[in-house]
Amino acid sequence: MPDALAEVREWAGQPVVETPIKGGLSHRIARLDAADGQRWVLRVLDPRVSEAELGIPLDLEIANTLLAAESGVGPRVLRRMPDALLLEYLDGSTLDAPAVRALPAPIAAACRKLHAGPRFVNDFSVFRKLERFLDLCHTHQLRKPDGYEDLLGTAAEIERALAARPLPAVPCHNDLLPANFIRCGAEIRIVDYQLSGNNDPAFELGDIAAEADYDPELTRGLARAYFGEDDPGLTARVRLNLIMSNLTWTLWFAVHHGLLAEQAAAADFNYEAEAAGKFERAVRDMDDPGFGRLVDDVRGSHPGSFTPRKKRTTQGGLSDQASPAGRGREETR
Ligand SMILES: Nc1ncnc2c1ncn2[C@@H]1O[C@H](COP(=O)(O)OP(=O)(O)O)[C@@H](O)[C@H]1O
Ligand SMILES: [Mg+2]
């Protein structure tokens, strides 16, 4: 990242030392320490990520990062460079999954604040994203977990159920895995707007719940904290989006593994194991006897109107591939 760093040094008018931050799987992130004690974060955007459709186009990401800063949830943007951002350094602790499970109320508050802020410059639908990833898998002959296509009928049923009583779209992050939350005192801040776009707020919550492995009761607590009411239809909406998060982000890892092999090798991260783990959780939840009830609750219809999917025996391994050896480390996409 020499060019962006040189530009920051010139802008700051003083020596600046760069320390890479290990963590993210997509871009190059570094802490910058200026001679006078000021500290910033440099985010140099890798164009290969958006070219592979693993993120929104870079100009949209930059625009949304500026809008998220206006809401007070994202870091302030100190300088915008063609392919890099100089960001406020958030002096706090990056969350892990147990921390996200322990903090549903402050996390819901951070989401409400982001969602009440300025609209983003693009829209986002997890269903359209899933279709794009499937196209990419077909075009480039990328491996998906065995039996993946068997779940698409149920995904379409989820989309129809959610569309029966839609919620207004709000500016969503859409990728709230634990490492994108930073706790600064009592407040939670949110970084990394790589997949941001206006969307159903229930996807935001379902995605948080999926990434931090919430059980149904904790998911209900997150929905209650966000919506301010204990409504079975809203909780079911979040739980169906939890399933869509696992199903769709399975392919994020499959596409990353297939199209960005060089980056993947450098990241020392087991992408195939991550894809398989997410897929297994999607299968688990779609095969759960309570699944039909979620669809009914979202539609606000009488129990029993949904016909459950025939149970399958999918293992979740990627086709023509030895069974992956579990999750490599906590996910940091
Ligand atoms: N503004 C910031 N202040 C402090 N730490 C940050 C900031 N932005 C990112 N980080 C740290 O760097 C990690 C990776 O950054 P992130 O923007 O999520 O990159 P990636 O797109 O590669 O996931 C985060 O999990 C967090 O620990
Ligand atoms: Mg990140």
Question: What is the 150 CA–ligand 2 centroid distance (Å)?
Answer: 30
Does 20 sit in the ligand 1 pocket, CB within 6 Å?
no
- Averaged pLDDT for residues 211-215: 98
For residue 333, being part of any structural domain is answered with no
One domain, residues 35 and 166: no
Distance CA 157, CA 227 (A): 24
Name beta bridge partners: 33.
17, 39
- 45 domain-assigned: yes
Q: Are residues 120 and 257 in the same domain?
A: yes
Q: DSSP string of 215-252? A: -HHHHHHHHHHHHSS--HHHHHHHHHHHHHHHHHHHHH
3-state secondary structure string, 274-293?
A: HHHHHHHHHHHHHHCCCHHH
Ligand 1 atom 14: the closest Cα is on which residue?
A: 24
Give the chain's mean pLDDT: 90
Q: What integer is the mean pLDDT of 23-29? A: 80
**284 and 147, same structural domain?**
yes
Residue with CA at minimum distance from ligand 1 atom 11: 21
The strands making up 16-20's β-sheet, listed across from edge to edge, are 16-20, 28-34, 39-44, 84-88, 77-81
Total domain count, the chain:
2
Flag whether 163 is in a domain.
yes
Do 291 and 171 fall within a single domain? yes
- Confidence at 272, pLDDT banded by 50, 70, 90: confident
Over residues 137-159, mean pLDDT? 96
| Last residue of one domain, picked from the residues 38, 56, 90 | 90
> Domain of 151: which CATH number?
3.90.1200.10
Q: Which atom of ligand 1 is nearest to the CA of 91?
A: 4
Task: Return the residue whose CA atom lies nearest to atom 4 of ligand 1.
Answer: 90
Ligand 1 touching residue 65 (CB < 6 A): no
| Secondary structure element (H or E) that encloses residue 128, with its range | helix 126-140
- Pull the structure tokens for residue 28: 């190059």
| 206 lies in the same domain as 75 | no
CA of 27 to the centre of ligand 1 (A): 9
Nearest ligand to the C-alpha atom of residue 28: 1
Q: How far is the CA of 20 from the centre of ligand 1 (A)?
A: 10
pLDDT band per the 50, 70, 90 thresholds, residue 271: confident
**Which of 252, 42, 297 is CA-nearest to residue 137?**
252
Nearest bound ligand to the CA of residue 87: 1
Is residue 111 domain-shared with residue 202, that is, in the same domain? Answer: yes
CATH number at residue 80: 3.30.200.20
Residue 295, domain extent: 94-299
Model confidence at 149, pLDDT cuts 50, 70, 90, reads very high
The CA distance from 56 to 54, in Å, is: 7
pLDDT tens string 77-130: 999 998 899 999 999 999 999 999 999 999 999 999 999 999 999 999 999 999
Centre of ligand 2 to C-alpha 89, Å, is 15
Query: What are the tens digits of pLDDT across the range 298-323?
Result: 998 655 554 545 554 444 444 333 33
CA pair distance 94, 331, nearest whole angstrom: 13
For residue 185, count CB atoms less than 10 angstroms from its CB and return exposed for 0-12, middle for 13-18, buried for 19 or more: exposed
Q: Is residue 318 assigned to a domain?
A: no
Q: Are residues 172 and 126 in the same domain?
A: yes
Same domain, 86 and 129: no
Q: Are 171 and 277 found together in one domain?
A: yes
Q: Are 136 and 217 in the same domain?
A: yes
- Ligand number nearest CA of 256 is 1
* Residue 86 parent element (H or E): strand 84-88
Question: 158 CA distance to ligand 1 centroid (A)?
Answer: 32
Residue 325: per-residue pLDDT: 32
**Which one of the ligands is nearest to 27 CA?**
1
